[in-house]
A = this chain, B = another copy of it.
């Protein structure tokens, strides 16, 4: 098998990410979002919001992380942040998926892509911290655009959002979280006043 054969096999397999559904909806509420279009959208967020990174980042490395970050869901599925999955079990599934999927590539590319995916997962470098922040920003914006989106369904409170999402977003992009936080507070206040009647 030539290098090109291996590369095309990997790219063909990647097509399946378009069929992995996430908890969040499109902004027009017409359907749930899939992980491939989510990946595109978070890359656009990273390009546009890079100036708000807590520390200087290499935007092209951040974009590459976000391009690859959800590929493992082809085998492991999406684990919604408010869905209560077992993190250890999910991580084992994702490691096996990374073995299989990146393993379709020529060895040098397999290793390079695995390296940057592992860097993203570890969330220790400045680039990975910002990439992880941005990955959490996009679903919040989707929920805000769809009248709370999945928050009512999962009974999410503002305090849970702060713990599960806010801390991570603020670590990589504090000014973005501050802007989101005021929008989140406004949404929950509006809901509380509706429930009061």
Contacts and interface: CB of A to CB of B under 8 A. Distances in A.
A151 to B, nearest CB: 17
Given A49-B7, A109-B48, A15 B145 contact: yes
B44 A40 contact: no
A141 B3 CA distance: 16
Contacts of A68: 44
A102 B65 CA distance: 25
Interface string A35-56: 0110111011101110110000
B48 A67 contact: no
Interface stretch (A25-33, A82-90, A152-160): A25-33
A28 B14 CA distance: 12
Contacts of A11: 41, 44-45, 48-49, 138, 141
Interface in A128-182: 138, 141-142, 145, 175-176, 179
A82 to B, nearest CB: 21
A4 interface: yes
10 contacts: A2-B179, A4-B176, A10-B48, A15-B26, A15-B142, A15-B145, A16-B27, A19-B28, A63-B63, A63-B64
Interface of A: 2-5, 7-8, 10-12, 14-19, 26-28, 30, 33-34, 36-37, 39-41, 43-45, 47-49, 51-52, 59-60, 63-64, 67-68, 105, 109, 138, 141-142, 145, 175-176, 179
